[in-house]
Amino acid sequence: MRLHTHLSETEDENRFCQEIYGCRPLDYLENCGWLGERTWLAHAVHFNADEIARLGRARTAITHCACSNQVLASGCCPVCDMEASGVKVGLGVDGSASNDASNMIQEVRAAFLLQRNRYGTKVSHRDALRWATKGSAECIGRSSLGEIKPRNVADLAFFKLDELRFSGHGDPIAALVLCGAHKADRVMVGGNWVVEDGRIPGLDIEQLIGGHSAAARRLQKL
């Protein structure tokens, strides 16, 4: 899975790093021996142009967490500048600690909207899907994932377009992003079905929600 941490998420983090360590987060990362291609970073919002170039030269990858960055008002990761510098870009959901559902296909839409707002129409829904698939596989150095091609791992997600939200859709791939797909009908991981007819076989969802909610309540009381 390579080395992973969250870096330069907020201006507050950059200030904290400067006060405690006397340097910016990327310098600290480099001092720890982590600035290289075996590392991928979540967020990467507040890097300057020089730092983005250094990330590209080091072949360090980043994961864009569009929903989290908007919920927490952290800022906007400069994804297109990153890619222009040679930084590999994937998508992430930053976990569920910010009252988020961690829905990956909704993250694709959020990334598309946020980056299109920043860079204009040069960002397409296909860019967002590329970050979610091939880009995310590149973050963790797994060339056998992220693309449908011979000899790759059989990881596939299938979506149906018969819900009201897709009614009257045009390009079906664009519809997944633009109309807001939120749930796969079927998912295959390594050649095995793990979601069928929108359900995970053998999983008691009500029991899972009950157990998880109780654990979250305990944590919130701490």
Candidate ranges 53-61, 81-89, 91-99, 187-195; the one touching Zn ion (CB under 5 A): 91-99
Contacting Zn ion within 50-69 (CB under 5 A):
none
Residue nearest to Zn ion (CB): 6
Residue choice 13, 83, 94, 127 for contact with Zn ion (CB under 5 A) = 94
Binding status of residue 6 toward Zn ion by CB under 5 A: yes
DSSP state of 197: T
Query: Given the complex with Zn ion, which of 5 and 143 has the nearer CB atom?
Result: 5
Contacts of 49 (CB under 8 A, 6+ apart): 81
Q: Is the dihedral of CA 76, 77, 82, 84 positive or negative?
A: negative
Candidate ranges 94-102, 136-144, 151-159, 175-183; the one touching Zn ion (CB under 5 A): 94-102
Helix, strand or coil for residue 196?
strand
CB of 72 to Zn ion, least distance (A): 8
Candidate ranges 3-11, 22-30, 102-110, 183-191; the one touching Zn ion (CB under 5 A): 3-11
Residue 194 token pair: 């793990």
Query: Given the complex with Zn ion, which of 55 and 175 has the nearer CB atom?
Result: 55
CB of 88 to Zn ion, least distance (A): 19
CB under 8 Å, gap of 24 or more: what pairs does 31-35 form? 34/3, 34/5, 35/60
190/170 Cα distance (integer angstroms): 31
CA 149 → CA 40, 103, 146, 154, distances in Å?
25, 25, 9, 9
Query: Given the complex with Zn ion, which of 94 and 107 has the nearer CB atom?
Result: 94
DSSP E strands in the chain: the ranges are: 3-7, 39-43, 61-64, 89-91, 156-158, 186-189, 192-195
CA 71 distance to own-chain centroid: 15
CB of 156 to Zn ion, least distance (A): 28
Query: Given the complex with Zn ion, which of 94 and 138 has the nearer CB atom?
Result: 94
Candidate ranges 33-41, 89-97, 137-145, 181-189; the one touching Zn ion (CB under 5 A): 89-97
Instruction: Give the total of residues touching Zn ion (CB under 5 A).
Output: 2
CB of 9 to Zn ion, least distance (A): 5
Residues that bind Zn ion (CB under 5 A): 6, 94
